[in-house]
Chains A and B, each alone.
Chain A
């Protein structure tokens, strides 16, 4: 089985889907001749030409609206928005356009587009290039949202997202692009809406996505040394949420800690927490705990940024409080 970097796995998924379906095209800022600022689209313009791998002006609002309508007209656009921090510019197209048409127009149209973006802190990129805005996109009815944590899932979920009949927001993480791990040799997809049990345990379910899965695994190692067996669930799909897997895990462990790199108030972790309370209250022996960013902009200086990003210390502390 080949080992690929996360960015290479995405690149392979894009290449295969473009080879498979001539309706797939890519557009976005710096994705063509430069190959993307995170090199995800490297080489694709040479292979598929400048019409299907398009460098664009810096026009996120219009590009997103174009992805919506081009999909409606029969294409399968994959738009790259360079940073998740630029997502606020895309929101009219997502909230007032993509979200509404399938239902409001009574199933007359489909919008099979993918909006790829990357977020997350830890790279010293400052307050406008480091955010995780999971809750912003997962909040919107009519859209799906996925956030792969591994090269395998990056590859398989992107292929599924491109083939999906509706809009999918694909959230990558800037600190994962260089992570090398196994990717299947043959073409294989990972279905949207299915979580993955990464590590089994009996005492607590740590529920995370994207880079926070890896932080949670580090926390689980430490907790094992203290005699706490933590289960780690990688959501993979933020919407639709794989409720069955979550409920199954909590039924085993009776404790849950939700980890998300985004803000706390009205955040994604709050939604997962409320969902567990709705559906698994009788299984829970303690309130669901949340580990998130504090409600602050992400500061630049390394010790300051380190202080606000959730990591194993915060996760271990939350687990100890929960199982105490």
Chain B
């Protein structure tokens, strides 16, 4: 069965979250330039339609595994902007009390477990969650958001074979942003469309426009429905583009300017706004954007003022069972 597209209300919420993510990324970029961030930050500008569109229909009890570039996944899955920003800034009020940083954010209560800075590691993680959900007889699903770089790993192959073999309730959502760090996918992959590999696992697959949040939503919703009803895994290849560098430390120079311009013209926020413009007033959209920007500003102001964490040893790491 094919799902209908998102309602106008759902589209408005998706658009609002995409704007939140973009403003967050821009604020992080500005803060980085001022020396206000620590370590690399992997921005997802241009990829918001994938992370937000693919997670919009999920329940909080559905489980998502993410990547090192997960800000849109975090916000899409319903995490609080202030607590995400606080984690990115290493504050006690962050989701992980400042221990995780921006690449490893997790919120178990929201079903986001979690960011992962080992490329590809979220794929078997989602597969294992799906096995547990199936064994427990729950009708929740697992969704793995991963990139074209991760698609080249051995664990991707192992996981897709196992997921298809055992009909696990998992959605493999390939966020194809064209680059694995600095290397173009044409230099990493033997095939242009990674979704063709699904045939090798007898797994349904489709390619969607990853800059169109509605297209992503529909494909994901169908895959979620299939997984929930016992139909097993799906591979969705969402073609998108990373508008900013690999991370804040990226010196650039390897992306073709014409290519960037082409994708910038198809900015997912522009695409989503244009769709909504036919449904609701421009003033409403302007107001929504201003509200989203305010949410981000407030989140940064609060997080910057939040206290840092204090170090404490953790009992799980004990080397000795007793004594000195």
Contacts and interface: CB of A to CB of B under 8 A. Distances in A.
Contacts of B113: 69, 72, 105, 109
A194 B125 CA distance: 32
Interface in B143-198: 154-155, 158-159, 161-162, 165
A55 to B, nearest CB: 10
B291 to A, nearest CB: 30
A74 B131 contact: no
Interface residues of B, number: 46
A28 interface: no
Interface in A57-82: 57, 59, 61-63, 65-75, 77
Contacts of A62: 123-124, 127, 155, 158-159, 162
Contacts of A52: 135
B225 to A, nearest CB: 21
A69 B320 contact: no
A92 B321 contact: no
A237 B142 CA distance: 35
B322 A59 contact: no
B96 A106 contact: yes
B154 A97 contact: no
Interface string B281-318: 00000000000000000000000000000000010111
A317 B36 CA distance: 62
B318 A108 contact: no
A73 B323 contact: no
A247 B323 CA distance: 9
Given A62-B127, A66-B131, A104 B100 contact: yes
Contacts of A247: 323-324
Nearest to B63: A73
Contacts of B323: 242-244, 247, 279
Contacts of A193: 321-322
Most buried by B among A71, A100, A241: A241
Given A65-B125, A102-B314, A105-B96, A240 B320 contact: yes
Nearest to B160: A62
Given A61-B154, A61-B158, A103-B99, A73 B129 contact: yes
B323 to A, nearest CB: 4
Interface string A241-253: 1111001000000
A242 B322 contact: yes
A93 interface: yes
Given A106-B96, A109-B108, A70 B131 contact: yes
A57 B161 contact: yes
B34 interface: no
Contacts of A100: 104
B262 interface: no
Size category of the A interface is: 35 or more
Point out which of B96, B135, B321 has the most chain A C-beta atoms below 10 A from its C-beta.
B321
Contacts of B81: none
A142 interface: yes
B240 interface: no
A148 interface: no
Most buried by B among A57, A69, A103, A237: A69
A159 interface: no
A141 interface: yes
B249 interface: no
B39 to A, nearest CB: 14
Contacts of B116: 97
A103 B99 CA distance: 8
B321 A68 contact: no
B3 interface: no
Contacts of B321: 192-194, 237, 240-244
B315 to A, nearest CB: 9
A105 B114 contact: yes
Interface centre among A23, A73, A166 (most CB of B within 10 A): A73
A57 B165 contact: yes
Contacts of B100: 104-106
A19 interface: no
Interface string A235-275: 00101111110010000000000000000000000000000
A103 B312 CA distance: 10
B106 interface: yes
Contact of A65 (B109, B121, B322): B121
18 contacts: A61-B155, A62-B158, A62-B159, A70-B135, A73-B129, A77-B128, A97-B116, A103-B314, A105-B95, A108-B96, A108-B109, A141-B319, A193-B321, A241-B319, A243-B323, A247-B324, A279-B323, A279-B324
Given A66-B125, A70-B135, A239-B319, 14 more contacts: A56-B162, A57-B158, A59-B162, A69-B124, A69-B127, A70-B129, A70-B132, A93-B121, A105-B108, A106-B97, A108-B107, A108-B109, A141-B317, A241-B320
Interface of B: 63, 65, 95-97, 99-100, 104, 106-109, 113-114, 116, 118, 121, 123-129, 131-133, 135-136, 154-155, 158-159, 161-162, 165, 314, 316-324
